[in-house]
Amino acid sequence: MAAWNEAQANDIIGRHAGREGALLPILHDIQAAFGHVPAPAVPVIAHALNLTRAEVHGVVSFYHDFRDKPAGRHVLKLCRAEACQSVNGERLAKQFLDRFGVEWGGTTPDGRLTIEATYCLGLCASGPSAMLDGEVIGRLTKNSIDDIAREVG
């Protein structure tokens, strides 16, 4: 991920210029480029789209997929939807959090892993489920914790 660069942000914004509903695609592209939506990006986006900074910040803080600080090298999203909860997803999630020593949205001190909540990965019949670095994983078990720990180093 690149360090904050206003010129690069303006290039990203320019690719969406004039499009209806450009805010979400811009935020996704900003996060893809910088690993998060940096605070300095908010007024730049707001100005370009004729929105207030509060409106842009509100969208960033409302959607769980956007983060305002960099994530770890790996991102694990654990499903917290009802179907996964019904098959012990919450207990398993707590075991993940305890194993890696983080809270929801937290990153390990060495920066290797961020654990985030998500609210349905569409694997309801294969719960509990997760997504590691964009790859979905179904039927998580206690052994999955060790497997994921090995995978993230």
Has 124 been labeled as part of a binding site? Answer: yes
Domain ranges of the chain: 6-62, 74-152
pLDDT score of 26: 99
- What integer is the mean pLDDT of 62-89? 95
C-alpha span between 130 and 117 (Å, rounded): 9
Has 79 been labeled as part of a binding site? Answer: yes
- What integer is the mean pLDDT of 133-153? 94
pLDDT score of 64: 85
Q: What is the pTM of this model?
A: 0.84
Has 99 been labeled as part of a binding site? Answer: no
Segment 114-139, tens digit of pLDDT: 999 999 999 999 999 999 999 999 99
- Cβ atoms < 10 Å from Cβ of 19: 10
- What integer is the mean pLDDT of 82-103? 96
CB distance 85 to 49 below 8 Å:
no
Sign of the dihedral through C-alpha 103, 104, 108, 109: negative
Has 120 been labeled as part of a binding site? Answer: yes
Predicted confidence band of residue 144 (pLDDT cuts 50, 70, 90): very high
Segment 35-47, tens digit of pLDDT: 999 999 999 999 9
Q: Does 58 have pLDDT greater than 90? A: yes
pLDDT score of 153: 85
- Cβ atoms < 10 Å from Cβ of 127: 23
33 in helix, strand or coil?
helix
Any bridge partners for residue 137, and if so which?
130
Helix (H) and strand (E) counts in the chain:
7, 4
Give the chain's length. Answer: 153
Q: Does 1 have pLDDT greater than 80? A: no
Task: State the architecture of 74-152 in CATH terms.
Answer: 3-Layer(aba) Sandwich (3.40)
The whole-chain average pLDDT of the chain stands at 96
Residue 134 region by backbone torsions, left for phi larger than 0, else alpha for psi between -120 and 50, else beta: left
